[in-house]
Structure 1
Amino acid sequence: MGVRTAIPGNMSKKLRGMLVLILLIILKETGPTAACSSRCSSRCDCSSRGLTSVPQDLPTTITELDLRSNSITTIGRNDFSRYRGLTNLDLGGNQMASLPTNIFLGLDNLQYLFLYNNRLTTLPSDIFEGLTNLYYLHMSSNRLPSLPPDIFQGLGKLGVLVLSGGVLTSLPAGIFAGLDNLRHLSLHGNQLTHLSADIFPVLASISSVSLNNNPWQCDCGMAPFKQMMTGSFEHSFEQEIICAGPGNLQGLSLLQDVSLEDLICEQTTIHSTFSSSYFIVQSNSSTSMAPPSTSTTHNGAGSTSSLFSLTVFLSAFLGVAAGALIVCGGLLAFWCHYRRMKRNPPSMPDSNNVVFSISNNGASVTFNGQGQAGHYEFGTELSEEYEAVDYPPSTSQPVAGHGQNRIEPPNPPPRSGDRADPQATDAILSDDTGHHYQPLRWA
């Protein structure tokens, strides 16, 4: 006959409580571990595990992998290559700043991809290459100021795209091209300031578009988009564009409260789109945008904005300054040359300047005229001497045998050993005393 030990009632209650507590602890430790291990079924819940990398010991047949709210900072290019059957991948709430190229290559069955609440600052243009069945892409609350123009290329089945709560400042041209099945687009809570007219048809074709809580600048850059607005009930996104600037338009609705004439720019800018071109007309301190008489429409979606940067402005300014300096330098050189010529004018030779000198040893004649100059000496070799002949004070006498009223320079006398010319040319010569001399003929 056994002995039964009585357990007090209060002690039995404490024992049962301890057993329940131990059971809960066991379930807490073993349950989630089994859910994120080789024992998990088609869905592996590895969320909030403090993981720093993608587990590689999970079944290769899984279709859903939840890695949200961990401490993953980097992902290897081949981390998902063993899980090619995934249809749902959640990487939200981690600390990833970038993703390697082609990281999702081979996940042809992936339909839902979550990348929200990370630290992504840039993405390669082919990051989503191969995801031809992707339907839902959630990329909100990241640090992406811009996106590559062709980042969504090939995602023909994409129906939901969430880009809200980030720092996007612009949308490149054609970024939504080819997304024919897109039904929801969320862009609210970014830093968008302008939208091109080219993106308007894309937004109008989407059932649900969210654009609110962006710092829209209602200036000339929004004029093309403003012209596309219709106020249609189907285009509810038109109501969500509230001006954040300039100051006189702050808080006003671009659709209802702002006219096209109000969209001016405080500085000279150029804004161009594929569908139409706009020229900037500056008036005093404001600049307005006026459309030309004709416009050309091109196929495609997105927006293009071309603004004169500070570098272009400085380059143009320096070019003008350099041209002005060159012109001023040329004018200065011409002025200096003119002053120098004025102070020291060039001496112009007298076309009829003839100098005759006589000495005891002979005579010499020096003449200088246009196109001719000469110097002749008559020394002791002369067989005859000149004799003085007084003529009337006429200023001009014809030269014998020539019949011309001008003084010709004499021909040079024959040199020693040369034959004398019996028909020597006569010439009237004068010295400083006013006498006139008639040369004798050579013997």
Structure 2
Amino acid sequence: MSSLLTSVLVLLLVILEGLKTTGASCDCSALTCRCEGLSLTSIPQNLPTSITSLHVEYNNLTSLHMQDFLRYRNLSSLFLPDNRLFTIGSRAFYHLTNLTSIDLRWNKLTCLQTDTFVGLGSLRALNIDYNDIKSIEEGTFRECPRLVHLLLGSNRLASISPGSFTGLNQLELLDLFSNQITYIQPDTFSNLPQLKHLYLYQNGITHIHPDTFSHVSQLQLLSLFSNKIAEIQSGTFTDLPKLEELDLDFNHITNIQAGAFSNLPRLEYLGLGHNQMEILPLTICHELSSVPTLILNNNPWQCDCRIVSLNLHTQICGSCSPEIVNQITCTNPGGFQGQKLRDINVTVLNCTELGRPNSATGQQGHCPYSYVFNLLLSVILMET
């Protein structure tokens, strides 16, 4: 009797496990089925065909194929995060012509084929954050002409070819944060005429070509913090009439060329903090004086005679915003470490690096009064 009972219990367990696989444990309403955390290895095939939203999060799916969705042609949203997806078969979503959003976060996808998203003419949002994608083939998203939001953050992309986003004429948000991108080719974003938000932070970008953003005229937000950019060349962020926020914090910037930030009439925020700038050129000060919020903290400012002209222009002519000078805290020389530039008497600034002797003592180490006078005179003549 006990052996018979054991056999019955085993049979019941097998049946219950089978019910999980077929989706009998999913919680369904008229238009939505939720199948989260059921250890599913495939898409359930006994759900109502009328559903428009399907949640299959926290399961054990490893692949997707066209036949998985043949029954569910009314789907408008599909949620598949936190599975074990390695591959998406050819034309897997082909019959989901009404689909407007797909969530594929936290899977193990390594590549996207050019026919992966065929048939998704209505798709508006695609989230593939937190996967292992190493490359994007040219034309991968060509079949998604209505895509507005594309999220590819926290993958393993090392480069992006100019044809990666071909056909996305309505794309407004592109998120590429926390990849391994070191260089962006100049024409990468040229075919995204409606792009407004671009996130490239936490990559390894070392250089930005001046033409990289020249065709993205609708851009409003550009995030490049936590990269390895060392220099901003003239024209890099020029003629972006709608740009409101530009974040370059936590880079390795030592030099900014004149004209790097010209013609940015709507710029409200510029982050240049936590870089390696020792001197802020007067030309850049002029370009940035109208920016309401400018972050310059945590740079190794060198408070010697090279920075005198910046302070004098502010104090005497007002041609450089006081808010800019107020943020400059000296790192060197040691005697001025921690002091605000605005509080330092320009006549005692250390000029050892320039090799200018003190006119009174004949020794190096102080900015001579004659030098300050000449600077004052040059500033006055310049402004008149």
**TM tier, smaller:** 0.5 to 0.7
Larger-gyration structure (1/2): 1
1:22 pairs with one of 38, 50, 56: 38
SS in 2 for 1:185: strand
SS in 1 for 2:246: strand
Q: Does 1:293 align with 2:309?
A: no
How far the C-alpha of 1:54 sits from its partner, in A, is 2.2
User: 1:42 maps to what in 2?
Assistant: 124
Q: Does 1:54 align with 2:70?
A: no
CA distance in 1, matches of 2:308, 2:194: 43
Normalising to structure 2: TM-score of the pair? 0.65
Letter in 2 for 1:284: Q
CA distance in 2, matches of 1:52, 1:160: 29
Letter in 1 for 2:217: T
Are the aligned partners of 1:104 and 1:130 in contact in 2 as well (CA < 8 Å)? yes
CA distance in 2, matches of 1:230, 1:106: 46
Are the aligned partners of 1:42 and 1:64 in contact in 2 as well (CA < 8 Å)? yes
SS in 1 for 2:38: helix
CA distance in 1, matches of 2:130, 2:336: 46
User: 2:353 maps to what in 1?
Assistant: 267
How far the C-alpha of 1:17 sits from its partner, in A, is 12
User: 1:84 maps to what in 2?
Assistant: 169
Letter in 1 for 2:348: D
1:73 pairs with one of 158, 167, 182: 158
**How do 1:371-382 and structure 2 match up within 5 A?**
none
User: 1:130 maps to what in 2?
Assistant: 215
SS in 1 for 2:270: strand
CA distance in 2, matches of 1:167, 1:223: 24
Letter in 2 for 1:70: N
CA distance in 2, matches of 1:47, 1:188: 27
SS in 2 for 1:117: coil
**How do 1:360-439 and structure 2 match up within 5 A?**
none
SS in 1 for 2:294: strand
Mean alpha-carbon deviation: is it higher for 135-144 or for 49-58?
49-58
CA distance in 1, matches of 2:348, 2:335: 10
How far the C-alpha of 1:134 sits from its partner, in A, is 0.7
User: 2:342 maps to what in 1?
Assistant: 255
User: 2:363 maps to what in 1?
Assistant: 284
How far the C-alpha of 1:57 sits from its partner, in A, is 3.8
Letter in 2 for 1:246: P
User: 2:200 maps to what in 1?
Assistant: 115
How far the C-alpha of 1:16 sits from its partner, in A, is 7.9
CA distance in 1, matches of 2:378, 2:309: 14
Letter in 1 for 2:179: N
CA distance in 1, matches of 2:358, 2:235: 30
Query: Is the alpha carbon distance of 1:24 and 1:71 closer, same or farther for their aligned partners in structure 2, counting shifts above 3 Å?
Result: same
User: 2:268 maps to what in 1?
Assistant: 183
How far the C-alpha of 1:164 sits from its partner, in A, is 0.3
User: 2:235 maps to what in 1?
Assistant: 150
Are the aligned partners of 1:269 and 1:280 in contact in 2 as well (CA < 8 Å)? no
Q: How many residues align?
A: 283
CA distance in 2, matches of 1:255, 1:162: 25
1:241 pairs with one of 302, 305, 328: 328
Mean alpha-carbon deviation: is it higher for 258-267 or for 105-114?
258-267
CA distance in 1, matches of 2:313, 2:156: 46
Normalising to structure 1: TM-score of the pair? 0.57
Query: Is the alpha carbon distance of 1:190 and 1:134 closer, same or farther for their aligned partners in structure 2, counting shifts above 3 Å?
Result: same
User: 2:246 maps to what in 1?
Assistant: 161
Identity %: 25
Are the aligned partners of 2:305 and 2:354 in contact in 1 as well (CA < 8 Å)? no
CA distance in 2, matches of 1:97, 1:269: 39
CA distance in 2, matches of 1:22, 1:103: 41
Are the aligned partners of 2:220 and 2:244 in contact in 1 as well (CA < 8 Å)? yes
How far the C-alpha of 1:83 sits from its partner, in A, is 1.7
Query: Is the alpha carbon distance of 1:192 and 1:17 closer, same or farther for their aligned partners in structure 2, counting shifts above 3 Å?
Result: farther
Mean alpha-carbon deviation: is it higher for 188-197 or for 221-230?
221-230
Are the aligned partners of 2:239 and 2:262 in contact in 1 as well (CA < 8 Å)? no
Residue by residue, what CA displacement relative to the aligned partner does 1:254-303 show, whole Å, maximum 9, x if unpaired? 123x1111323103369xxxxxxxx99794123524215244549xxxxx
Residue by residue, what CA displacement relative to the aligned partner does 1:331-377 show, whole Å, maximum 9, x if unpaired? xxxxxxxxxxxxxxxxxxxxxxxxxxxxxxxxxxxxxxxxxxxxxxx
User: 2:92 maps to what in 1?
Assistant: none
How far the C-alpha of 1:235 sits from its partner, in A, is 5.0
Residue by residue, what CA displacement relative to the aligned partner does 1:35-73 show, whole Å, maximum 9, x if unpaired? 455258211111112111126443232111111100011
How far the C-alpha of 1:153 sits from its partner, in A, is 1.9
SS in 1 for 2:222: strand
